[in-house]
Each structure stands twice: as structure tokens, then as C-alpha cells.
Amino acid sequence: MAYITEKNLTDVVLKRWQDIPDPRLKEVMQSLIKHLHAFVREIEPSGEEWFKAIDWITRTGQMSDNKRQEVILFSDVMGVSMLVDAMNNRLDTGATPTTVEGPFHVANAPEIANGGNMAKEAPGIPTFVTGKVRSLDGAPIAGAMLDLWQTDGEGLYESQRGTEEPWMRGVFRSQADGSYSLRTVAPIAYTIPMDGTVGELMEQTKISHMRPAHIHFAVSAPGYHKVTTHLFQKGDEYIETDVVYGVKAPLIVEFEKKSGGKAPNGEVLNEPFYVVHYDFILQKQAKAQAA
């Protein structure tokens, strides 16, 4: 075996880590060693700096559990979550693009009838969302499941409100003609959690820690590629600087302001409200997988 020098160390480690029966694990470890060594060679950390990094990684892991995921948040602000999402959802032009799920989705949301209100008594400007679920060839998709979650009009998700009952989430189904309709309140822009190690890091930068106002959707139908995505409010001041890089052009929608009157679900309101129209375009499963 060659004795170690600064120069030969990377090659010696790569050689040692070749002895891995699983070819995928071998590929991943070889690449990790190459890039990790190149990173360390480039930044040339002092011992003190390296220990600071180890301490930060340790605390990031220690903060994470099934309620709080600081490691995922780090992946989000590094743009890695969106990169992994993009590589696993290469859809045809015209299909509704995906974006990160984020940490606030809660499974088993209550089913709400078409046109129903998922905001109940939550604060915020009433907002009516309508549209169709269609396939790429334009055909309506009946019975698609639309699982929604979002902040209320004060920027808080259910887990941040700590409510007993479901808060600002619900499952809707598309109708025979592919249409869906629902009532909610307008979400507002919010900050990612800043009280952890990721916040500590962000505070040392001038990077915005805000997410622009959005509604999360997971839209699925048998035989179609599931689309987990958001609709973003056009004109939001953070639309260009989303801290988790989630904004894609086809997902920016107009929240059209009405002064009152008849809403798309037939309700009549004496107060201002928004109307949002969006068609979700799904791609056949086999096609999306083969892409």
C-alpha cells in the first residue's frame, strides 16, 4: 500500500472504497469521495473551521425528528430538494410541473364536497379556486384527487396553530367533466423556520428567508403521474427570491380581486374576495416514468 501524502490521499481512499458489491452504492460512494475531497481541497479549512462545521452538522441532526426536519430544510435552501424533485419528475411541456412538498403536508385530510370551504373560520381574504383536471391531450379526468394544504391569512399552517381539528387542508375530487371548485382564504408569504441551525446560517447571509404566498396541491388520478406542486400568487414580492427555489413560471397565477357578489361556487359575498382559475394537466404514468 502507498503511504499517505496530501497529494495521493484521494486516490488511496477511492481505491479502498472500490470493494463494494452493490454497484449503485459503489457509484455513489466513489462520487461522494471525489466531490468531498475536491471541496475540502478547494476551501482548505483550518482545524477550527472543520470542527465548527462538524458541530453545525451535529446540531442540525439533533434538532431533527418526525416533527421538525432541519436536515430537509438545509437541503431545501441549498436547492437540492428542488434538483432531486426536477430529476424525478421530467414531464412533457404542457404538463403541470412539480415543486417541493415541504414539511407541512399532513396525510388523511378531510374529504370536502365540490365547492366546499376548507378554511372554515380561518382568518384571511376569501378565495375561490376553480379549474379542471385534464390529461395532456385535453381530455377531462374525472375523480382525480386534489389534496390541498396552505397557510391561513396570517401565514400559519396547522402544525403552527396547534389545532385539534384539521386546519387549512382538505381533499377535493374532480367532477365528471374534470372540473373542481373550492373555497379557501388567500395564503400569505411566510418565513421558513429561523430558530434552528439553518436560520443561524441564513442570518449570516443577506439571502431572503421568505417563501412567496402559495397553495400546496397534490393531484393524483389512477394511471397518471402524481403531481405535487404549488400555485403561487402573481405579484408576490418574494416570487423572484423564493428561499427554497420552488417557483416555476407555469405555477404563477393571478388572484383576481372582486369587490363582492356571486362567487364561482354560487355563494354571494358582501366582502371582497379573490378568484383563481387553474387547470391541472396530468401526464400518463408510463410516459412520465420512461422520460
> Where on the chain is the footprint of ligand BEZ (CB under 6 A)?
73, 76, 100, 102-104, 192, 211, 244
Alpha carbon distances (Å) from 15 to 18, 21, 36, 41, 150: 5, 14, 15, 18, 49
DSSP 8-state secondary structure symbol assigned to residue 251: G
Grid coordinates in use for 128? Answer: 375561490
Minimal distance, residue 214 CB to ligand BEZ, in Å: 6
Select the binding partner of residue 85 from Fe ion, ligand BEZ, none (C-beta < 5 to 8 A, by kind): none
Q: What phi and psi, each to the nearest 5 degrees, are found at residue 154?
A: -110, 10
The CA angle 132-229-217, to the nearest 5 degrees, is 60
Which of residues 212 and 264 has its CB atom nearest to ligand BEZ in the complex?
212
Q: Can you say whether the dihedral through the CA atoms of 12, 17, 23, 28 is positive or negative?
A: negative
Select the binding partner of residue 218 from ligand BEZ, Fe ion, none (C-beta < 5 to 8 A, by kind): none
Minimal distance, residue 51 CB to Fe ion, in Å: 35
Residues within the interface to Fe ion (CB under 5 A): 102
Which of residues 224 and 245 has its CB atom nearest to ligand BEZ in the complex?
245
Select the binding partner of residue 244 from ligand BEZ, Fe ion, none (C-beta < 5 to 8 A, by kind): ligand BEZ
Ranges assigned E (strand) in the chain: 126-135, 145-150, 169-173, 179-185, 190-191, 210-211, 214-220, 227-233, 252-253, 256-258, 261-262, 268-269, 273-277, 280-282
Q: Can you say whether the dihedral through the CA atoms of 221, 224, 230, 231 is positive or negative?
A: negative
Minimal distance, residue 101 CB to ligand BEZ, in Å: 7
Minimal distance, residue 191 CB to ligand BEZ, in Å: 9
Which of residues 188 and 263 has its CB atom nearest to ligand BEZ in the complex?
188
Minimal distance, residue 211 CB to Fe ion, in Å: 6
Residue of minimal CB distance from Fe ion?
Answer: 102
Minimal distance, residue 120 CB to ligand BEZ, in Å: 20
Which of residues 140 and 166 has its CB atom nearest to Fe ion in the complex?
166
Q: Can you say whether the dihedral through the CA atoms of 150, 77, 195, 197 is positive or negative?
A: positive
Which of residues 215 and 263 has its CB atom nearest to Fe ion in the complex?
215
Which of residues 56 and 104 has its CB atom nearest to ligand BEZ in the complex?
104
Select the binding partner of residue 100 from Fe ion, ligand BEZ, none (C-beta < 5 to 8 A, by kind): ligand BEZ
Which amino acid, residue 238?
A: Y
Burial classification of residue 32, based on how many CB atoms lie within 10 Å of its CB (0-12 exposed, 13-18 middle, 19 or more buried)? exposed
Minimal distance, residue 150 CB to ligand BEZ, in Å: 9
Select the binding partner of residue 17 from ligand BEZ, Fe ion, none (C-beta < 5 to 8 A, by kind): none
Alpha carbon distances (Å) from 181 to 51, 173, 204, 275: 54, 9, 44, 11
Which of residues 100 and 288 has its CB atom nearest to ligand BEZ in the complex?
100
Q: What phi and psi, each to the nearest 5 degrees, are found at residue 48?
A: -65, -45
Which amino acid, residue 273?
A: F
Select the binding partner of residue 103 from ligand BEZ, Fe ion, none (C-beta < 5 to 8 A, by kind): ligand BEZ
